[in-house]
Amino acid sequence: MHYSFDIERGNFADAGQASSSVKRLLKQLGVAPPNIKRTVVALFEAEINAIAHAYGGKIDVDIDDGKIVMVVADQGPGIPNLDLAMQEGWSTASPQVREMGYGAGMGLPNIRKNTDELKIDTEVGVGTTVTMTVYFA
């Protein structure tokens, strides 16, 4: 099963829509609650990162019997230092984004903790693609 969602720059009001749809789908498919939890935490964080930092993007989700693969691809500034970005507490979020309670530098660490495979391809000035896999078994 394949699903796609669009990400609009700065559109925090719709943040979580993709995660919410995916949660509903996984519930219908009878996926175990801890795996649903891991999936939605990772997807929500990736969604927020793209909304907060990029200029737009797309989410592609593929679900089969044993796993879910989520690809969040944005056009944006890219991540100049990925090692730094993966560190808990490091953030480049704007003051407005921080005021909403984001920007604590917990997004990427949350993604890493909740996925079985994580791949981040990023190019400065071009964009970032985050590929996350959660196995249900």
Tell me the C-alpha distance between 111 and 39, whole Å: 9
- Nearest approach in angstroms of CB 60 to other proteins is 19
Work out how close the CB of 125 gets to other proteins at its nearest, in angstroms, rounded to a whole number: 26
Instruction: Write the DSSP string, 108-130.
Output: HHHHHHH-SEEEEEEETTTEEEE
Residues that bind other proteins (CB under 8 A): 12-13, 15-16, 19-20, 23, 33, 37, 40-41, 44-45, 48, 100-102, 104, 106-107, 109-110, 113-114
Q: How far is the CB of 130 from other proteins (least distance, A)?
A: 15
**Nearer to other proteins (CB atom), residue 16 or residue 78:** 16
Nearer to other proteins, 67 or 113 (CB): 113
Measured CA angle at 22 (ends 103, 113), to 5 deg: 45
Closer residue to other proteins, CB minimum distance, 47 or 126: 47
- Could you tell me where the DSSP H helices lie in the chain? 17-28, 33-53, 82-85, 95-99, 107-114
